[in-house]
A and B are shown apart, each in its own frame.
Chain A
Amino acid sequence: MLKLMFSNQLYLVLAQALVAAIAAMVVVLLARRRGIHLESETLVAMLRGIIQITAVGSILLLLLRAPRWTSVFLLAAMMIAAGATSARRAKNMPGAFRVSAWSIAFGSGSVIAVMTWLGVIDTAITSLVPVGSMLITNAMNTNGLALNRFRADVLAHAGEIETALALGADAKNSVSPYVQAAFESSLIPAIDSLRSLGIVWIPGLMAGMLLSGARPVYAAIYQFVVLAMIFAASGLTSLVSTLLIRDGIFTAAQQLSLQPGR
């Protein structure tokens, strides 16, 4: 229908973006009727998203002609931005940004480095940056989920944690059930993505490869490769972030510093 209304490609894309945004806002309005207020957060996120992705799309045009080493700086900047974004999910947790940035850098960075060295990811900037950004984004989401779950569990079980401390448990043991729960729950999306690959969804990367003429079986296997790398990067990130944040919520005297109402 939109294609009939707009013959100009730019206007068509803008109209498509507007319709998609309206669909998202309808959900926000439905949530509002149930007393859940996501209006400002969703609006800001959508505005940021459209501006950022348009800017990156423009930069990618320039990068096609840039030397390969520039992708290292680009990926490092993405990791820092990802750390800042997911740290917001860990409100009042000491060192959340530091923990997030290091965890994402270690989790996604080590998978990107090893896979590039092995030749699984092409070193061409047009391949390394988009695939790397997928790993970083998923690592960021996993990290956010892990920190959010850990924070909620610690606040809800402060009594149990302090009881364990009062009985002589060390800080690490007193929160170990919550570290494990945060790690497990943060990996649910990555596991479900792998499990439902090809049945529930055909990811954009595969669709893009098919459109550009790649053979379907190659496109499908490479999509699995990407999802397996996403799982590895996300798992490593969550493993590191839950361990680092665990140590950050206790003082040197093994006192729980993350307390309800403080």
Chain B
Amino acid sequence: MSTSPRKRPASEALVAGGVVVLLIAIIGLVFWSGAGSALYPPKAATLQAEEVSKLYNIVFAIAVAIFIAVEGLIIWSILRYRRRPGDVDLPPQTHGNNLVEALWTLIPTVIVLYLFAISWQTLNTVDYTSFANGQQPDVQIHVLAGQFQWQFEYLDSSGKHLATQTKPLGANGGMAVPVGKKVYVTLSSGDVIHAWYVPRFLFKRDVIPGQTNHFEFTVDPAEAGQTFHGQCAELCGTGHNAMHFDVMAMTQSDYDAWLAKLVETANATPPPPPSGAPTIQLAAKNIQFESTGISAPANSPFVIEFKNDDPSTITHDVQIRDSGGTVLQTQDTIPGGTSANYQYTPLAAGTYTFFCSVHSNMTGTLTVK
């Protein structure tokens, strides 16, 4: 038997209070130091994402409360109910209590039903599409994903093809959308499963071959001029981590100009290969160059007439790097079923590697002499 009578209530209250204060202090410190803010989603860029952000805040608050309550109870029990040297008698052999069992079944049930209800409510906003509600969206874009690049096909209001943006990134690349407008996106894949993911939209949707997925979003008008980074989120093979794209938020007038230029470029007849420059034929099929050894004259501009014989979702280009791996000349990718005349500036005599920037397995030797 322990000899000194314990002042149980006082010490219990003290330990319990201490534990709760400690936990709140730690959590406060984490957030005050800025590390905790990384647990919040990035600033929402679409009206849908703002709803998700609000929902997240509620779930997060409940999560922190449950965390403090239960971890606090565990830590308190650890500190308070250590077996002390005088503890020979058994503690009270409590086998259970139906009332508290019922309580901690019912209360969590109410909490999760509440979470389900508010989630469902937000889901209806996030999953809203104009078409499903008998309305017309402002912009329609068909996203094509292929290993390992994105293309964005712009459609008119009747769903007819306007032009395809084949460059997912960079100065002339990316998916432009007008702010404050309903943008309806359909997704299709020609090979494996990808996922269209923009972190600041707090949204992703799988791009599944044999199935056309769709969603709709409206970019916050305050975001005009911003570029959002997007990336494939479903493992799609070797180049998965390189499957990036940009989403540019534009004012309506900027967007109109951008789209007009895209249409104009797409409809322009490709310039004929400059006469005089030697032309080399090269084709790609089944994610392979049909020739892995080509040659070009030294110190002279030359042209590669490149034909992409893969399905339309698969894009290729022909870039050149030296033996040290430094990329010397780049080209824009072209989708399957098209061809292009790539023009190259003069190279000194030597051996180079030509390669596809989308598929690391596609390489060949370029002999310049």
The answer to whether A and B come from one shared complex is no
Residues of A within 8 A of B (CB): none
Residues of B within 8 A of A (CB): none
